[in-house]
Each structure stands twice: as C-alpha cells, then as structure tokens.
Structure 1
Amino acid sequence: MSIGSFYKTSASSGPITIQPSTADLKAFTDFAQLVPKAAANAQRRAINKTLGWLRTHLAREVGRKEGIAMRAVRQRLRAYSVKAGSTQGKLWFGLNPIEASRTGRARQTASGVSVGRRRYKGAFYKKVYGNRPDIWIRTASKQFNARDYPESDISAAAGVSSGWIAENDNRFPLAKAKVAIEDARSLFDSWARRADERLLLILKQELNFELQKYLRRNAG
C-alpha cells in the first residue's frame, strides 16, 4: 500500500520520496483504465512539478532558519525525476556541514571574517587549498573555537582534535569554517506532508488537462 510522500534520513543525507497515496490513486482509476498513457503522463508531470516546488521551498526555509544564502542550500538539494515505469520521485538533501564561505558574501575585516550574520574572529579569507578562497583560522590562535569549525580535524601537534577531516599542512595547522545544518532534519516531516497536499492539487490539474485533451480529440 502506498502511504504517500515520506522521508528517511541517514547520517549524511535526508531523501524525501514523492509519491501518490492509495487514496489519491483511486480518484483517477477509471480514467487510467480508459486512457492509461494519458494518466501516466499526468502523474509523472505532477510528481516532477512537486519535486521542483519542494526543492525551492525547502531551500528557502532552511536558508532562513540557518542564515544561509538560498543558492548554497539549493546546491545540497538534488531532484531525481520520475523514470519510465516508476511512480516515485526523490529529493536528496546532503546534511554535511557547508563551507561558511558559500553561505553568503565573505568580508575580510581587521578582526577576522564576516559572512551573513556570522563572525569568525581571528580568521582570514584566502585561497589555501583548492582553486577558490575559503575562511580559515590558525588553530594556534587564541581566538580559535572548534564549535565554529565543525568537521575540521586539528593535528595532534596543535594540541586540539575534533576527530574529523584534516585541513593542515607542514607549515601550520588550519581549520576551515563550516556551518552545520543538522537542524534541517526537523523540517523534513512537515515538508513531506505539504508535498502530499501539493501533489494532489497538481495531479488534479494535470488529469483535468489530459481529460480535456481526450474530450476534444473525441468530440463529434
């Protein structure tokens, strides 16, 4: 039995599955038997449109809740459209921390780096690893606070370790500023329910579109 849209989270992601419930499917059973291809097309378009709607609105709410630019959140949301013969579409959401430099416009100040509503005292905005600048701090700095740098592993030589990814070289140990988005999990349940409502609305519109085409084609 189809229970409708639902979500299931793991340690690093939170996919939301979009699909019609059994009760919703009964609403167009007769039409589907009459013109199954038209009904399948309507259902596919409805699910794919709901995925796009959910991606936009979930990115907006997570961005507002966490103080992150919407474009940065959208990069963590990946929609998988309905494939032929399937009645499910998925929206994948990566939950690993986001580099702070991607959450807004980073500004170097005399006391550190600011980006959005966040301030990183003692940090600097510079290209150190990779091909783009990021927000870094020397772990020996008195202003270093591990809570502002989640998933940055500080070498044992520095005297501090958070048990995650190394961001240092032989010259000096560094930590990269990142923003944890674990709290976004709390939004999945409510948005899965909203997606169910949205899917039913769009499904009715798409079925009506297909029905009108069918009636016009067979008029007279």
Structure 2
Amino acid sequence: MSVGSYHKQSASTGLITLQADQTDLKAFADFAALVPKAAIVAQRRAINRTLRWLRTYIARAVGQQERIAVAAVRQRLRAYPVGSNGQGKLWFGIDPIEASRAGRPRQTRAGVSVAGRRYEGAFYKKVYGGQSDIWIRTASKHFKASDYPDSEVSGRGGASSGWIAENGSRYPLAKAKISLADVRPHFDAWTKRADEQLLKFLKRELNFELQKYLQGSVRV
C-alpha cells in the first residue's frame, strides 16, 4: 500500500522519494478504472512537475540560508523522473561545498572574501584540478578548522581529502568549504511540502486528462 512521499538521509546525501498516496486518488477511482493509461500519465506528469518544483524551491531556500549561489546548490540536486515503480526521486549531496562556488571570490592583501565570508590569510589560486579554489596554509595563524571542513591536516594528501601538500610536505594546504549540515533538519518539512504540492499537480493533471477524455467522447 502506498504511504505517500518519504525521505532518507545518509552521511553525505539526502534522498526524497515522491509517490502518490492511494487515499489521494480515491476521488478519481472511477476515472482511473475507466481510463487507466490516462491516469498513469497524469500521475507521472504530476510527480515530475513536483520534482522540478522541489529542486527549485530547495535550491533557493538553501542558497538563502547558507549564503551560497543558487546555481551552486542546484548542482548538488539531481532529479530522477518517475520509473516503472511509480516513484520519482530527488538526490541532494550534502557534503561541504567549496567556498569558491558560493559567489565571486575576491583576493585582497588580507585574504579572500566571497558571499559575505572572509578567509583571512587565504589565497585564491588553481593549485590542482580544473578551477581555482580558496586555500590556506595550515601553518598560518589564521587557519581555523571550522572554515575548512572535510580537510584533513596531516603529512599525507590526495585530491579527495580537501588539501594538498605544496612543494612536498612542508606547506600543507586546506581548501575553504561551507558545511551543509544545517540543512538536515529541513528534509522532513521539504518532503511534506512536496507531498502537498504533488496533490495539487495531480488534481490538475487528472482534470486535464478527464477533459481530454470527455471531449473525445463527445466527438464520438
């Protein structure tokens, strides 16, 4: 039995699954029995529309809350259209995001500023990879672990750890990132809002299919 939309979280991701609650479909039971294919099409369109709405809404909400460019948040959100099981999914990567993606970094003598944040002692540079990022030497007096989450400061390195040893191991660097841990409590609210929006879209899509059916019947 369908229980409607729900969400699950892991250490680094959140996943919202959208599906229609059967109780919401009772008012359309006769139509669904009469034209089952049209009802399935309506349900599929409603879920996919809700996924797009939810992706836009979450990107705006998180961008505003965390002071991150909406475009950067959207890159962490992936919508998966309805499959054969009647479910659509929205994946959200909630690992810390690079501070350089929060806005337009500005290099000053004191450090780097971006999206209202200041990283004293840091520099904006392409150390490795395809784009520049905000870095700081871990030996700097301005280094604060809270500004560089997911950066492991040690004598060893690798691209995945968020830091790199420059000129051997004498100058280990940490990459500035922004934690997304504060978004976790919102998943339940987002799922409920998505469920409510899904019902609105479902009513519209079923009514659209019903009108098409009725017009076809008149022509016959």
SS in 2 for 1:28: helix
Query: Residue 151 of structure 2 aligns to which amino acid in structure 1?
Result: S
CA RMSD of aligned residues (A): 1.3
Alignment of 1:160-171 (within 5 A): 165=161, 167-169=163-165, 170=168
Q: Residues of 2 paired with 1:154 and 1:186: CA distance?
A: 29
Structure 2 CA distance for aligned equivalents of residues 50 and 5 of structure 1 = 11
Which residue does the alignment assign to 2:69? 69
The residue matched to 1:23 in structure 2 has which SS?
A: helix
SS in 2 for 1:15: strand
Identity, in percent, stands at: 64
Residue 105 (structure 2) aligns with: 106
Give the conservation status (yes or no) of the 8 Å contact 1:154–1:168: no
CA deviation profile, 1:12-61 (whole Å, cap 9, x unmatched): 10100111112112222211110111000000000000000000001110
Q: 2:85 and 2:3 mapped to 1: Cα distance? A: 16
Moved over 3 A (4+): none
Q: What residue ranges of structure 1 are gaps of 5+ in the alignment?
A: 158-163
Number of residue pairs aligned between Structure 1 and Structure 2: 213
Q: SS at 1:153's partner residue?
A: coil
Alignment of 1:80-159 (within 5 A): 80-83=80-83, 85-156=84-155
CA contact (8 A) 2:18 2:89 kept: yes
TM-score by length of 2: 0.93
Deviations 1:157-216 (CA, angstroms, capped at 9, x unpaired):
8xxxxxx81512215200000000011111111111111111111101000110111111
CA distance in 1, matches of 2:78, 2:155: 37
Which consecutive residues of structure 2, in runs of 5 or more, have no partner in the other structure?
none
Is 1:35 equivalent to 2:35 in the alignment?
Answer: yes
